[in-house]
């Protein structure tokens, strides 16, 4: 029982990180139909930028803020000046994001070297919660709560605000959205930037546990894609449910049959695709 609860909590922690990464990936896909291979790089850059700023300033908050701002800006520039040029050619866009991903990987190696590190825990989140036999670090609990709050905030923006309505209109029919006065290009850039910022924030949140190392970007990318594909490309709700499914399966899979960890991860994806090609909440 203790084992079950602990593994479930660990699964929730993975799901929380995955959601922070995958929500931006799925939003960008919904609005622009961009399959962004560089999305894992945004997470990685978030960790590294936060690391540098925290080293200099000793402020976790400043580190997080810098990571989000810098990576969002990077995402905006990437969309505005590069991806947008291939607006109706998904393959060209994907190849371009692949190029960016490799560029970011090499730049990271050049600037920071390849040595692994972890971010500091915030002081007030050291230690573990103990309930009976279950021991669970406060920090992981904190990440779960934060991701849940981010999820609620994204849902509220998407469903309850005018900006959200504009976003959904653009996902429904970008051409009509522009005819109804929406600057689709600008909105797309902002969504892409917000997605990049979310991934960077995910990096900061995951930093004390997963840390930063060479190859982090491409370790996370397949997981994020499985989440988005299982949940349905473009669906926020899908990213939420997909994160839970993948987080749990990945955790239990690795705990129970570690030698099959890629099988346990991709099997559910193939199953979902076989039964519902658009993913759980995707649209045709």
Contacts with another protein by CB under 8 A lie at 162, 165-166, 168-169, 171-173, 175-185
Q: Where are the alpha helices (DSSP H) in 132-235?
A: 138-160, 162-172, 174-179, 184-210, 216-231
- What is the nearest approach in angstroms of another protein to the Cβ of residue 179? 5
- Minimum CB distance to another protein smaller for 37 or for 171: 171
- What is the nearest approach in angstroms of another protein to the Cβ of residue 185? 8
- Minimum CB distance to another protein smaller for 131 or for 162: 162
- What is the nearest approach in angstroms of another protein to the Cβ of residue 139? 37
- What is the nearest approach in angstroms of another protein to the Cβ of residue 235? 11
Residues 6 or more apart from 240 whose CB is under 8 A from it? 19, 23, 151, 231
> Phi/psi zone of residue 49: left (φ > 0), alpha (ψ -120 to 50 degrees), beta?
alpha
CB atoms within 10 A of CB 55: 12
Length of the chain: 284
How far is 205 from 36, CA to CA, in rounded Å?
21
How far is 27 from 235, CA to CA, in rounded Å?
7
Answer yes or no: are the C-beta atoms of 268 and 245 closer than 8 Å: yes
- What is the nearest approach in angstroms of another protein to the Cβ of residue 166? 5
CB atoms within 10 A of CB 155: 15
- What is the nearest approach in angstroms of another protein to the Cβ of residue 158? 10
How far is 63 from 46, CA to CA, in rounded Å?
9
- Minimum CB distance to another protein smaller for 89 or for 106: 89
Backbone φ and ψ of 114, nearest 5°: -105, 5
- Minimum CB distance to another protein smaller for 52 or for 185: 185
Measured in whole angstroms, the distance separating CA 162 from the mean position of its chain's CA atoms is: 24
- What is the nearest approach in angstroms of another protein to the Cβ of residue 69? 27
- Minimum CB distance to another protein smaller for 141 or for 169: 169
- What is the nearest approach in angstroms of another protein to the Cβ of residue 187? 10
- Minimum CB distance to another protein smaller for 7 or for 278: 278
Burial of residue 126 (CB within 10 Å: 0-12, 13-18, 19+) is exposed
Tokens 């190392």 correspond to 213
- Minimum CB distance to another protein smaller for 61 or for 179: 179
């Amino acid at each position: 029982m203790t084992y079950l609860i602990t593994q479930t909590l660990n699964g929730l922690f993975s799901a929380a990180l995955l959601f922070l990464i995958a929500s931006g990936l799925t939003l960008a896909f919904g609005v622009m139909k961009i399959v962004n291979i560089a999305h894992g790089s945004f997470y990685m850059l978030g960790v590294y930028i936060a690391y540098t700023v925290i080293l200099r300033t000793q402020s976790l908050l400043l580190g997080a803020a810098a990571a989000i701002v810098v990576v969002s800006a990077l995402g905006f520039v990437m969309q505005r000046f590069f991806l947008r040029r291939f607006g109706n050619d998904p393959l060209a866009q994907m190849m371009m994001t692949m190029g960016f991903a490799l560029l970011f990987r090499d730049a990271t190696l050049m600037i920071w070297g390849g040595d692994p590190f972890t971010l500091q825990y915030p002081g007030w989140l050291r230690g573990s919660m103990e309930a009976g036999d279950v021991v669970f670090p406060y920090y992981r609990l904190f990440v779960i709560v934060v991701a849940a709050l981010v999820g609620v905030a994204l849902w509220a923006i998407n469903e309850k605000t005018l900006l959200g309505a504009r976003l959904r209109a653009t996902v429904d029919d970008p051409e009509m959205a522009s005819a109804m006065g929406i600057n689709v290009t600008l909105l797309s850039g902002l969504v892409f930037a917000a997605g990049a910022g979310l991934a960077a924030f995910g990096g900061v949140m995951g930093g004390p546990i997963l840390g930063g190392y060479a190859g982090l970007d491409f370790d996370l990318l397949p997981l994020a894609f499985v989440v988005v594909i299982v949940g349905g490309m473009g669906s926020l709700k899908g990213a939420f449910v997909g994160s839970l499914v993948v987080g749990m399966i990945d955790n239990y899979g690795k705990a129970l049959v570690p030698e099959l960890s890629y099988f346990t991860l991709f099997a559910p994806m193939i199953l979902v695709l076989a039964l519902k090609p658009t993913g759980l909440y995707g649209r045709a």
